[in-house]
Amino acid sequence: MRGEALPALALLAAGCTMGSDYARPDVAEPAAFRDEGGGKAGAGSLGEVPWEGVLTDPVLQDLVRRALERNYDLAIAATRVLEARARLVEVGADQYPELDAIAVGAKHRADGSPADESAWTAGGQLSWELDFWGKFRRATEAARAELLATEAGRRAVSQSVVADVAAAYFTLRGLDSELEISRLALASREASRRIVSARSTGGVGTEVELRQAEVLVLTASQRIPELESRIARTENALSILLGENPGPVPRGKPLVEQALPAEVPAGLPSDLLDRRPDLLAAEQDLAAACANVGEAKAALLPSFSLTAAGGVGSLELGRADTQTGPVWQVTAGIFQPIFDAGRLRAGVRAAEARYEGAALRYQQSVRSAFREVSDALVGLRKGREFLEFQRSLSKTLADQSRLSRDRYKGGVTTYLEVLDTERQAFDADIALVEAERDVRLSFVDLYRALGGGWDAAPLLDRPGTAMPAPVAKP
């Protein structure tokens, strides 16, 4: 009869879990992202494309791989996953019985006794607090959800590393182009200064024109060390992302050859909930908070414990012939809190408040994700429009600058016109490079906002199922 009671009690306990099971809250999702002009609605999404298919420069791809292998933020995030995995094992162990070995020896002398008396006992003790109300199961659910949230956080760091490396690389290639333009402008202006100097010496030109030519040379010259400094700082920042000491960074294709797709599919807003790592992490935090409410409620109810101990003993230490035979004991206990000054009920209210806060944070994160995608879509579309205008302006000013130089050489106009048109053409060329860079940065922002940039198996959508694959040590 005793042998049947314990399994029956455990089976009964399995159906008495306190609290509600987690379910994803309803989210008012828009039918489509605002400003779909920068993207293409449909089932597919840019966020589903692996980063190797988005970042096509082989040198950039190599930099991203190095960063994913060596980045310190990513390695730190991996250690958090390992910690959460160990925490899950630690919490889950409370659901199972605990077996301990016991060995006790004693020696004493009673009053009036002529000799010492000794005894020893050796055996084991099995103790088990029955999870009748599901307190330990809810704690395990919370720990599992925290593990999944930590894993999602690691993937979010991975996504950020990919995007940050790409953004830094595009910025670096933009600065390289600006430096090249500045050096070409400097060489051209030095040639113009020599022409103006010769005209001035021959009595055709004036001293004012010579000074104006020198202003153009100095304007181009002073920009070069500034750009070289910005390039070095960008290289240093990129090196840190790669987990390396500051140093030079290899280059691949020029900025204008970093191809972007003509159309960027945005997909459906609802897809973000299962693709963006930060939203997955926020949802798992909410699931953990839900389980913690059930754990806190279960603490209000009685707890049941079973203890079984058994072994052998002897009246003389080290002598088997005095062994008294097997010793065993089985005890059962019930513990019910009576007065704790409201501590346990306050714990329930605190858990419920944390759940409400987690639900609000999840809703806020989803709204922010929708906004980020919409902002990135309009940024990419308007950036491309601005780029087309800037290309036309740069070409027009280049033609105007060439005509002004020809007019000056022919004696039709003064060098002031050349000075003005060359300054405008130079500024337009720099603005064109910045526009090319900004379009690519907007593309990276959109890719990140759509949940792209990390390669891993999909996270589990619900707590309480299988665990994710082990995370390798960094």
What is residue 115's predicted lDDT score, i.e. its pLDDT? Answer: 61
In a domain, 151, yes or no: yes
What is residue 168's predicted lDDT score, i.e. its pLDDT? Answer: 96
Q: How far is CA 318 from CA 114, 119, 323, 382, in A?
A: 20, 9, 10, 90
Q: How many residues are recorded in the chain? A: 474
In a domain, 208, yes or no: yes
Residue 14 pLDDT exceeds 80: no
Digit-coded pLDDT (tens) for 432-448: 999 999 999 999 999 99
Digit-coded pLDDT (tens) for 271-296: 888 889 999 999 999 999 999 999 88
What is the value of pTM for the model shown? Answer: 0.81
pLDDT interval class at 383 (50, 70, 90): very high
Digit-coded pLDDT (tens) for 170-209: 999 999 999 999 898 888 878 777 877 776 676 666 777 7
Between 238 and 314, residue with greater pLDDT: 238
Between 18 and 123, residue with greater pLDDT: 123
What is residue 17's predicted lDDT score, i.e. its pLDDT? Answer: 60
In a domain, 459, yes or no: no
Mean pLDDT of 326-353: 86
In a domain, 245, yes or no: yes
Residue 11 pLDDT exceeds 50: no
In a domain, 333, yes or no: no
Total domains, the chain: 1
The CATH number for 188's domain is 1.20.1600.10
Residue 353 pLDDT exceeds 90: yes
Ramachandran angles phi, psi of 151, nearest 5° = -65, -40
In one-letter notation, the amino acid at residue 330 is V
Non-local CB neighbours of 452 within 8 Å, separated by 6+ positions: 46, 47, 48, 49, 51, 54, 159
In a domain, 75, yes or no: yes
CA trace torsion 452, 457, 459, 461 (10° rounding): 110
CA angle (43, 48, 53) in 5-degree steps: 125
Rg over alpha carbons for the chain, rounded to the nearest Å, is 37
- What average pLDDT does the structure give for the chain? 82
Structural domain range at position 196? 18-98+146-301+343-449
In a domain, 378, yes or no: yes
In a domain, 178, yes or no: yes
Mean pLDDT of 388-404: 90
